[in-house]
Amino acid sequence: MTTATASHDEHHHGPEKGLMRWVKTTNHKDIGTLYLWFAFAMLLIGGALAMGIRMELLQPGLQLMDPHFFNQLTTMHGLIMVFGAIMPAFVGLGNWLIPMMVGAPDMALPRMNNWSFWILPFAGGILLSTFFMEGGAPAFGWTFYAPLSTTFAPDSTDFFIFAVHLLGFSSIMGAINIIATVLNMRAPKMKLMDMPLFVWTWLITSFLLIGAMPVLAGAVTMMLTDRNFGTAFFDATGGGDPVMFQHIFWFFGHPEVYIMILPAFGVVSHIIPTFARKPLFGYSSMVYATASIAFLSYIVWAHHMFLTGMPVAGELYFMYATMLIAVPTGVKVFNWISTMWRGSMTFETPMLWAVSFVFLFTIGGFSGLMLGIAPADIQYHDTYFVVAHFHYVLVTGALWSIIAATFYWLPKWTGKMYNEGLAKVHFWWAVISVNVLFFPQHFLGLAGMPRRIPDYSLQFADFNMISSIGGFAFGASFILFTYIVIDCIRNGKPATARPWEGAKGLEWTLAPKAQYHSFNTPPSRELIKSESQHS
Amino acid sequence: MADDLRKRDKIKTSFWVKLISAPIFMFVFAIFVMPPIYDVFCEITGFNGTTGRVDADQQYEVKEDRKIDVSFFAMTMGGFPVQFTPKVHAMEVKPGKFYTTSYIAKNNTNQTIIGQAVPSVAPTEAALHFKKLECFCFNRQVFKPHEELEMTLRFVVEPELDERIQDVSLSYNFFKLES
């Protein structure tokens, strides 16, 4: 099969030369690469802002910056990491992998794909430019609650609104493209239940995106008209209600957190079977669990708002509905553990990241359950406990899976092998420092340290210093990560077509460095069957 | 091979229509459907402290044996230059009986000020059964320079109010309107 596809390549043009290749490209692999580098650049910028936050919080008192600038840092850190780093990184992985995994030659809408990427640098640029505007960048938190973001916001907020519109546009186009690719470009012999889990989780994520992102666009549009055109959606004077902003925001915001974690579940469901050398345990239950999580994510939003003065009936409903999500999530975690059970496990770098994902993401899940208890949330709300919780699920969850995916598929992307020894050093460096960084924040939160405040009272000093030191070490680990990836691209030893012994999936049937155009002939039923994750 | 590709590329128009109209629908839903639904929801459930209105001919059975303490609060927002206070700070009321009280507002400036009062009842479970027959919050209020206004409030606490609730507080927040 590999040779057959390779011989087809002779009639096709390779990539264009020079810079215009990247501007004009409609190739899913090029666009995937662009997305991944863009996300990585934004990760470094967002990380630099986080370093500023941790530097200010190293000691009690105001050392480095005035509180207004601190607020800008926390706000922009959140916005950049969510909309600039994690989401584009997953779209990049989806672009690179989904066509290869479903045996399609490219994405269904290659030109729209180009457009949805090239919107991003402009949106990111607009967002970052607000730092240099009069009044500074948005400083109302990444959740931009009204009236902080309407009546009391700096003028740069209108630029922020425009940037969010663009980012939303890009994500929706990406989602439409993935749905069309999976449903229409899939190899004719591949049934839906033959699809690898990364494809399944992305398909479901796409439906979350087209359901939730327009609501965010609606929320910022209402903010825009409230600010500039005299409407009063969120203004009590004109009959509006600022609490309604929170409902609309979290109606988007809760599906959004699953948008950022479902593809991560997919990645881990590829890596664990590979290095356990066993088929994925409970494939179909994984699919149904993903779909139930997606459905439930739309009906639990107000658990972010337990302190807005909800009736007890509302608190009870949202509390129980939230607890319900632990069931399908538990199914997934136990399936991963069962996949590893009595497997012939080896611990290459992607597996290290994947196993630590399961462990650390579960810690984040448990603290999420604690926050979901309405009476307990009265104590935890807006403390560092919340910060610890969502960093465990987003850093050691979403970001972990992106790094795991990078190491796992890097040989297929570059045709070369990364330095395994250095990558292991990087893993242990990152996994230790990230826990030094975020674990003490649980204790800070339980003791009552509020989030988004640049100063704190003295009893919080020790844990904050530990956390900051962990933060600097974790930030520095990305220097090593950058080196490992660039070293792999430049000097890596040639990889084989299937560098991981137990790896299954159509992408591994391609050349060691996947051809520029792959699967011009759809794969046969036999090949799909033999590369399937389950028997 | 080319035929094969083309076959896979063929996508029905109805599929596109569905795929593109879904996000447009959600956008329109967020702006034009969610806010009205939210308003109606608040009115029906008293969610978020939204109080209800009642018609003049509405009659209730007065519960003579039950007493509820109603406290009145007044606040102003965003530098609203009017002194705003309740005339009485607390009243003991019987469910089902109509009561009248008032708020006093004094404009200390040389300008005409237009304001809007926004009510809120706590606890939220009581909001549903706190009904007003007459209230200065139904309309915007105009304060002439140095004018002192006594603004009437006529209300009833419905007998259906949960037995466990003994204290209800009503607060008004005055906002300055442009113009």
Q: What pLDDT was estimated at residue B46?
A: 66
Q: What pLDDT was estimated at residue A191?
A: 92
A 10 A CB-CB count for B30 gives: 23
Exposed, middle or buried, A43 (CB in 10 Å: 0-12/13-18/19+)? buried
First to last CA, chain A: 21
- pLDDT 10s digits, B4-14: 544 555 667 88
A 10 A CB-CB count for A326 gives: 16
Minimal-distance CA residue of chain A relative to B175: A237
Contact A166, A123 (CB under 8 A): yes
* Structure tokens, B158: 């419905």
- pLDDT 10s digits, A51-108: 999 999 999 999 999 999 999 999 999 999 999 999 999 999 999 999 999 999 999 9
CB–CB contacts below 8 A, A to B: 103
Asked if B23 lies within 8 A of A108 by C-beta distance, the reply is no
The DSSP secondary-structure symbol of A524 reads: P
* Residue among B24, B125, B177 whose CB faces A311 most closely: B125
**Nearest CA among B74, B94, B71 for reference residue B85:** B74
Quote the CA–CA distance of A178 and A93 in Å, as a whole number. 11
Asked if A244 lies within 8 A of B20 by C-beta distance, the reply is no
A 10 A CB-CB count for A3 gives: 7
Residues of B in contact with A238 (CB under 8 A): 116
Residues of A in contact with B7 (CB under 8 A): 188
- pLDDT 10s digits, B137-152: 888 888 888 888 888 8
* Residue among A218, A247, A309 whose CB faces B31 most closely: A218
Which residues of A are known catalytic residues? 77, 106, 142, 170-171, 254, 256, 258, 269, 303-304, 329, 332, 451
Residue B49: pLDDT band with limits 50, 70, 90: low
Q: What pLDDT was estimated at residue A535?
A: 55
* Residue among B5, B15, B34 whose CB faces A248 most closely: B34
Q: Which of residues 233-292 of A touch B (CB under 8 A)?
A: 233, 236-238, 240-241, 243-244, 247-248, 251
Q: What pLDDT was estimated at residue A16?
A: 78
| Percent above pLDDT 90 for chain B | 17
* Residue among B4, B5, B27 whose CB faces A218 most closely: B27
Q: Report yes or no: A112 at the B interface, CB cutoff 8 Å.
A: no
Residues of A in contact with B39 (CB under 8 A): 241
Quote the CA–CA distance of A371 and A380 in Å, as a whole number. 7
Q: Which residues of chain A have pLDDT under 70?
A: 1-13, 535
Minimal-distance CA residue of chain A relative to B15: A180
> At A7, which amino acid appears?
S
- Kind of pairing, strands B167-176 and B68-76? parallel
